[in-house]
Amino acid sequence: MGSLTLSTIRKSYSAVEVLKGIDLEVADGEFVVFVGPSGCGKSTLLRIIAGLDDATSGEVLIDGVSVDAVPSAKRGIAMVFQSYALYPHLKVRDNMGLGLKQAGAKAEDIRARVSEASAMLSLDDYLDRRPAELSGGQRQRVAIGRAIVRHPKLFLFDEPLSNLDAALRVNTRLEIARLHRELKATMIYVTHDQVEAMTLADKIVVLNKGRVEQIGSPMDLYNHPANLFVAGFIGSPKMNFIEADRLGRKDAATIGVRPEHITVDFESGEWKGKVLHAEHLGADTILYLDTERAGFISVRLFGEQRYDADDIVYATPDPARIYAFDGDGAVIGGPAAAPAPKADVQS
Ligand code: ADP
Ligand code: MG
């Protein structure tokens, strides 16, 4: 129906290798998110899956069949971009149906599919408007509708929410999650935003500089990061990294502890320090501390807290939530003492 296999995909632009051998299995119906910093190769990989770009080497298989010789339009995929790429002179219904029309579908079939998609996306009242008469969120829904009407085997999304304001991003994110449940379609979604990745994905692929750092479920990556990069990328505020030497530990190079796994007290605790800054967010309080032993750390406390700048406090990490990394950044201790080897996670 819509499974995908990537086999050692490499891509070079002249002398620069931007994808350095990507292997991945996506099961039918899975929601997979590619996440990583800007420039790590996410869009390039998506374009290779879509057939908009050729890999330098390696193979793309859809439902077990190599599509290297299959042109983009025949791969059974639909892509949604950050820029909505709608035709300004066409009404919403015609923007949504254009791909089907170009493929030679009958007018009544196009009408049926457009109304099915428009009902799913609450666009019924907008079908006769042109893109200029829509908000950004509505335009992005039209772009998603245009993908849905094609009944693709694979949906590919490239940072579809980046142009929306924060509230709309959350709404549209929920809508995409609901669509995935309703359509039971295979979706591959690219973002640089780890929150989007964590909230949408069945499986996250963390990319960095053209390589896969780790593949796993959101909670796998949060609880069992394989290395410093993933530990620092997933979670906000990010994990504190402390030189192991400072803490008198000879068994590791770096110690990691998440801000939410540290408690603070006025009277006693492990790391004495001063509050440099306190962010009172209502639901959370974030403290930035300068501690004698552990250096600069951030702490995330639940709810409203009375700590403020210049307070002297004691911070104590939860011993069950401390990670240790070796000089190469690999996890060697902590809750992830035995992270699953990459090859196992992928299969
Ligand atoms: P991402 O989507 O993760 O931000 P991209 O896949 O767009 O990253 O780009 C990955 C790398 O490949 C970047 O360093 C980018 O500059 C480079 N790149 C992308 N497209 C081209 C191109 N057509 N020619 C040369 N370099 C490119
Ligand atoms: Mg990109």
The CATH number for 286's domain is 2.40.50.140
Taking residues 200-211, what's their average pLDDT? 97
Closest ligand to Cα 38: 1
Where residue 107 sits, what CATH number does that domain have?
3.40.50.300
Residue 54 alpha carbon to ligand 1 centre in Å: 13
Say if residue 65 is in the same domain as residue 129: yes
**Portion of the chain with pLDDT greater than 70, in percent:** 97
Say if residue 218 is in the same domain as residue 244: no
Say if residue 116 is in the same domain as residue 15: yes
Contacts of 227 (CB under 8 A, 6+ apart): 213, 214, 325, 329, 330, 331
The minimum-distance atom of ligand 1 relative to the CA of 36 is 3
Torsions phi, psi for 117 (to 5 deg)? -70, -40
Q: Please name the residue that has the structure tokens 């990459």.
A: 342
Say if residue 12 is in the same domain as residue 139: yes
> Residue 206: pLDDT band by 50, 70, 90 thresholds?
very high
**Residue identifier of the C-alpha nearest atom 25 of ligand 1:** 13
* pLDDT, position 344: 46
Taking residues 21-47, what's their average pLDDT? 97
Asked whether the predicted pLDDT for residue 339 surpasses 50, the reply is no
Say if residue 200 is in the same domain as residue 281: no
**Residue identifier of the C-alpha nearest atom 22 of ligand 1:** 13
Say if residue 114 is in the same domain as residue 48: yes
Taking residues 292-306, what's their average pLDDT? 97
343 occurs within a structural domain: no
Mutation pick for ligand 1 pocket among 10, 12, 13, 54 (CB with most ligand atoms within 8 Å): 13
Q: Which one, of 52, 95, 101, lies nearest residue 77 by Cα?
A: 52
Closest ligand to Cα 207: 1
* pLDDT, position 256: 98
Taking residues 114-143, what's their average pLDDT? 94
Total structural domains within the chain: 2
334 phi-psi bin (left φ>0, alpha ψ -120 to 50, beta other)? left
> Residue 58: pLDDT band by 50, 70, 90 thresholds?
very high
pLDDT tens-digit profile of 83-113? Answer: 888 999 999 999 999 999 998 999 999 999 9
Torsions phi, psi for 58 (to 5 deg)? 105, 180
347 occurs within a structural domain: no
Asked whether the predicted pLDDT for residue 79 surpasses 90, the reply is yes
* pLDDT, position 167: 86
Say if residue 250 is in the same domain as residue 168: no
* pLDDT, position 338: 46
Asked whether the predicted pLDDT for residue 264 surpasses 50, the reply is yes
Say if residue 120 is in the same domain as residue 173: yes
* pLDDT, position 83: 86
Asked whether the predicted pLDDT for residue 294 surpasses 90, the reply is yes
Asked whether the predicted pLDDT for residue 62 surpasses 50, the reply is yes
First-residue to last-residue Cα distance in the chain: 19
Better-predicted residue by pLDDT, 12 or 334: 12
Coil, strand or helix at 273: strand
Taking residues 267-291, what's their average pLDDT? 98
Other residues' Cβ atoms within 10 Å of the Cβ of residue 257: 23
Task: Give dist(CA 341, CA 347) in Å, integer.
Answer: 11
Say if residue 52 is in the same domain as residue 89: yes
Asked whether the predicted pLDDT for residue 239 surpasses 60, the reply is yes
Coil, strand or helix at 288: strand
* pLDDT, position 336: 52
Taking residues 25-42, what's their average pLDDT? 97
**Which of residues 164, 189, 223 is at a domain's end?**
223
Taking residues 302-312, what's their average pLDDT? 97
**Which of residues 180, 196, 223 is at a domain's end?**
223
Closest ligand to Cα 83: 2
260 occurs within a structural domain: yes
> Residue 252: pLDDT band by 50, 70, 90 thresholds?
very high
129 occurs within a structural domain: yes
* pLDDT, position 168: 86
Say if residue 247 is in the same domain as residue 325: yes
Asked whether the predicted pLDDT for residue 217 surpasses 90, the reply is yes
Q: What is the mean pLDDT of the chain?
A: 94
168 occurs within a structural domain: yes
> Residue 126: pLDDT band by 50, 70, 90 thresholds?
very high
287 occurs within a structural domain: yes
**Under 8 Å between Cβ of 336 and 312:** no
Say if residue 118 is in the same domain as residue 244: no
Task: Give dist(CA 286, CA 308) in Å, integer.
Answer: 10
Query: Which residue range(s) make up the domain with 293?
Result: 239-334
Asked whether the predicted pLDDT for residue 347 surpasses 70, the reply is no
Taking residues 159-177, what's their average pLDDT? 89
Torsions phi, psi for 72 (to 5 deg)? -50, -45
Q: Which residues line ligand 1 (CB under 6 A)?
A: 13, 18, 36, 38-44
**Which of residues 198, 223, 248 is at a domain's end?**
223
340 occurs within a structural domain: no
188 occurs within a structural domain: yes
Asked whether the predicted pLDDT for residue 343 surpasses 80, the reply is no
Say if residue 8 is in the same domain as residue 148: yes
Asked whether the predicted pLDDT for residue 50 surpasses 60, the reply is yes
The minimum-distance atom of ligand 1 relative to the CA of 46 is 6
Instruction: Determine the number of helices (DSSP H) and then strands (DSSP E) in the chain.
Output: 9, 19
Contacts of 158 (CB under 8 A, 6+ apart): 42, 43, 46, 79, 80, 81, 82, 190
> Residue 82: pLDDT band by 50, 70, 90 thresholds?
confident
